[in-house]
Amino acid sequence: MPDQFATAEPDEAVKLALRRIEEATARGEGSDVDGLAFNEVVVNMGPQHPSTHGVLRLVVTLDGELVKDVIPVIGYLHRCKEKLAERRTYFQYIPIVDRTEYVASINCEWAYVMAVEKLAGIQVTRRAEFIRVITGELMRIASHLVAVGTFTADLSPLGTAMVFYMFREREQILDLMEQLTGARMMFNYFRFGGVRYDLPDGWVERCRDFLAKFPKLIKEYEALVDDNAIFLQRTQGKGVITQQDVVDYGITGPNARASGIDLDLRRTRPYSVYPELDFALCTEQHGDIFDRYRVRMEEMRESVKIIEQCLDMLPMGPVQVGSLRAPYVITPPPGSCYVGQENPRGEYGTYIESDGSRYPYRLKFRDPCFCNLQIFPKLLSGNKIADAVAISGSIDLVLGGIDR
Amino acid sequence: MGLTVGSNPMSMDAIAELLAERFAGDLADVRIQEPDTIVARAPREKLKDLAARLKADPDAGYETLNWIAGVDRQTGFESVYHVYSWKTNTYLELHVDLPREKPEVDTVTGVWPAADWHERESWDMVGIVYVGHPDLRRILLKDDFVGHPLRKDYVDLVENHPHA
C-alpha cells in the first residue's frame, strides 16, 4: 500500500531555500527576532493560495514572522505561447495573444497587432485608431478595478466590500465590450490595419452614460479606504520600490510611476493617437503600497478623460483597410521589430522576427509582470509575512502573462 | 534621485554616431530602426565588458535591461538584448551570435540585475548557457523537462515531460 502521507521529494526551489539556510547558518547568522533561537522554516505559499492571485508559488523562508528570503516559482500556467506561434499564421495568432494576460487582453492584442503592422508596413485607419484607444482605456479601467479590488480584499474585511463594488463596475465595462466585440474577456477584436467591427448603434451613448457616473464612483471607493486607519497603517511606508530598483529591475507601469518616475509609453514612446490626446501622467513620490494604489485610482480618472476625448473626436470612416475583410494571410518582409505598449501593468511588448513566410520565425513577449515579479525577493525580505501578502497584491500580477 | 525620462535628448543619428565612435571595434553593423531603436551586433567574448561600458556611458547610459530573447538561427544561436537609456529615452537592441555546437555567453546579471530571469528563460526555452549566472535553473518549464522547446530541431516526445 502506498504511503499517502509520505513527504514528497523537495523540488529545486525548496532545495535552494534549504541550501541558503545552511549557508547562512555556516556564516553564523542567527535569528533577527529577539528571544527566538535560530529557527528558520521554509513555507510553501501557493500555487493554490487565495492571496497570490493565480498560480504563483512563493517558497518563503520565515524567521518567526519575518520573511528572510523568497524564491518565486512560476510556470504553472505555461501554455507554450511562443512555441505555438511557430505553427500559426500571423492572423491565426491574434486570439492566442488574448490568453496571455487575460485581465487586460485587448491591450495585449494591441501590442501584438502593432508589431505585425510595423513589420508589414500596414497603415491603420483613423477611426480604428480611436476605437483602439477607447477599448484599450476601458480595459485599463477594468484591469485597475480588479487590481485594486482584489488587493484591498487581501488587506482587511473592509476590502471584501470594495471588491464587490469594483467588480460591479467592471461588469458594466465588460458588458460594453461584449456589445462591441461579442466576448466578455477573450475579445479577438483587433485586426491588422483596424478592428473587427465598427461601434454598434447606441454604443457611444451607453459608453458616455458609464463615463458620466464613473468618477463619482471612484470618489466613493476612495471614501471607503483612503482615510481608513487600518488601511493606511498597512500600506504606508511598506514595500518601497526605490528609483534605483526601477532602473535595475526594469519595473514599468504604475509600479514605476508610484516611485516618482514619469515613465509611460503612451508619452515616452507615443503610439496610436495618444499624442493628440490631453492626459496627465499620474505619479507619486514614495513608491510604497499606498502610492501604487493611489496611482491606479488616478489613472482610472485619466482614462475616463481619454475615452471622453476620443468619443468627441471620433471620426467617420472605415474601421479596416481596403476591403471589408481584414487580410487573412500576410507575409511581412524578413526582418525583426519590437513594439512596446503601455499595458495596465506596464510595458507589454512583442518582439517578432519574420523570415518572409506566413508564420513568425520567432515571437517573444516582454511581459510587465514577469519583470515586476523579479523584484519580489528583494521587496518582501525583511517584512512580516502578513505585509508580504499586501505587497504582492499591490504589485498586481497576472500569472497568465508571466507564464505565457 | 529624481530620475526623469529623456534628460539628455539626442537625435538618433547623433546616438548612432556616438556609439560607432566610442565602441568602435566592439559594436558592428550599427543601424537605426525607426523611430527610437539602434540595432547593433556585438562579439560574444567582449559582451560582459561591453555591457558594463554601455551602462556607464555618460551620454547614452543604457541602464535598464528590458528583455533578453534567445533565437535559434539554425546555423547558430543568437542572444538578443534589448536595453533602455533613460537619458536619451531610446533603446539599443544588441545581437550576439553564438556557435551552434557551443552556445555559451557570459552572463550580464552583474551589470543589469534584471537579466537574471530573462537569462533563465532563454536557457529554458532555447538552451543558451549563460556562463557565470548565479542560479541557471529552468524557469517556465518543470525541473525535469528534457530539451529546449524553442529550438527549431526540437522534437516533442512523451519522455521529454515525465510528470505531465
Domains of chain B, first to last: 12-160 (3.30.460.80)
Whether residue A398 lies inside any domain: the answer is yes
Same domain, A266 and A343: yes
What mean pLDDT comes out for the span A178-185? 89
Q: Are residues A94 and A210 in the same domain?
A: yes
Instruction: Check residue B53 and give its pLDDT.
Output: 87
Hey, are the CB atoms on B141 and A78 less than 8 Å from each other? yes
Q: Which residues of B touch A364 (CB under 8 A)?
A: 67, 69
pLDDT at position A91 is 86
Query: Which of A14, A80, A247 to probe by mutation at the B interface, max B CB count within 10 Å?
Result: A247
Whether A266 and chain B come into contact, CB under 8 Å, resolves to no
pLDDT (0 to 100) of residue A141: 93
pLDDT band at A63 (very low <50, low <70, confident <90, very high): confident
User: Are A190 and A160 within one domain?
Assistant: yes
CB atoms within 10 A of CB A22: 10
In a domain, A7, yes or no: no
In this prediction, residue A38 carries a pLDDT of 56
My answer on whether A64 and A98 are in the same domain is no
Size of interface A-B (CB pairs under 8 A): 90
Which residues of chain A are within 8 Å of residue B141 when distances are taken between CB atoms? 75, 78
- Do A20 and A111 lie in a common domain? no
Residue with cell 520565515: A62
Q: Quick check: A237 pLDDT over 70?
A: yes
- For residue A254, whether the previous peptide bond is cis, meaning omega lies within 30 degrees of 0, is no
Q: What pLDDT sits at residue A16?
A: 84
Exposed / middle / buried, residue B98 (Cβ in 10 Å: 0-12, 13-18, 19+):
buried
Is residue A1 in a domain? no
- Residues in chain B with CB shorter than 8 Å from the CB of A82 are 125, 150
- For A154-158, the CB contacts below 8 A with 24+ separation are A154/A51, A154/A389, A154/A390, A154/A393, A155/A230, A155/A231, A155/A234, A155/A235, A155/A390, A155/A393, A156/A230, A156/A231, A156/A234, A158/A224, A158/A225, A158/A228, A158/A230, A158/A231
Contact B89 A12 (CB under 8 A): no
Residues A304 and A208: their CA atoms lie apart, in Å, by 10
How far A138 CA sits from the closest chain B CA (Å)? Answer: 27
Give this prediction's pTM: 0.88
Mean pLDDT of A26-40: 64
Could you tell me if residue A44 is inside a domain?
A: yes
Q: Do residues A251 and A368 both lie within one domain? A: yes
**Residue B74, CA atoms < 13 Å, CB-side half-sphere:** 4
Confidence class for position A136, pLDDT limits 50, 70, 90? very high
In a domain, A303, yes or no: yes
Does residue A368 belong to any structural domain of this protein? yes
- Say which CATH number the domain at A399 has: 1.10.645.10
Task: For chain B, say whether A118 makes contact (Cβ under 8 Å).
Answer: no
Over residues A195-215, the mean pLDDT reads 90
Residue A58: helix, strand or coil by DSSP? strand
The answer on A314 and A291 residing in a single domain is yes
Mean pLDDT of all residues in A153-174: 83
Domain count of chain A? 2
Residues A249 and A121 both lie in one domain: yes
CB proximity A318 to B under 8 Å: no
Q: Which of A125-134, A227-236, B131-140 has the lowest mean pLDDT?
A: A227-236
User: Is A48 in the same domain as A152?
Assistant: no
Domain boundary among A73, A104, A122: A73
A277-288: average pLDDT? 87
Q: Residue A83: is it exposed, middle or buried by C-beta count within 10 angstroms (0-12/13-18/19+)?
A: middle
CB spacing of A248 vs B64 below 8 angstroms = yes
Pairing of strands B76-85, B62-72: antiparallel
| Chain B residues within an 8 Å CB radius of A75 | 138-142
Mutate to test the interface with A, among B32, B54, B73, B84 (most CBs of A within 10 A): B84
Cβ neighbours of A168 (radius 10 Å): 12
Domain boundary among A73, A96, A120: A73
Cell 485610482 belongs to residue: A297
Shared domain for A181 and A35, answered yes or no, is: no
CA distance B128 to A129: 39
Mutation site, B32, B64, B87, interface A, largest A CB count within 10 A: B64
Q: What is the pLDDT of residues B7-55, one digit of tens each?
A: 778 888 888 888 888 888 788 788 888 788 889 888 888 888 888 888 8
The answer to the question of residue A331 being in a domain is yes
Q: Point out the domain boundary residue: A73, A90, A121.
A: A73
Locate the chain B residue with the closest alpha carbon to A351: B69
Q: What is the pLDDT of residue A174?
A: 92
| CA distance to A61, A111, A150, A290, per residue, from A383 (Å) | 12, 36, 21, 16
Residue A3 lies in a domain: no
Look at B2 and A83 and tell me if their CB atoms are within 8 Å: no
Residues forming a β-bridge with A191:
A194
pLDDT of residue A233 exceeding 90, the answer is: no
DSSP 8-state symbol, A60 = E
Quick one: what percent of chain B has pLDDT higher than 90?
A: 18
ipTM of the complex: 0.89
Does A388 lie in the same domain as A258? yes
Q: Which of B126, B140, B145 to mutate to test binding with chain A, by most A CBs within 10 Å of its CB?
A: B140
Percent of chain A past pLDDT 70, that is, above it, reads 93
Interface of A with B in 232-251 (CB under 8 A): 242-244, 246-250
**What pLDDT digit, counting tens, does each position of A297-336 carry?**
999 999 999 999 999 988 988 888 776 555 677 888 898 8
Residues A235, A103, single domain; the answer is yes
Which residues form the domain of A29?
12-73
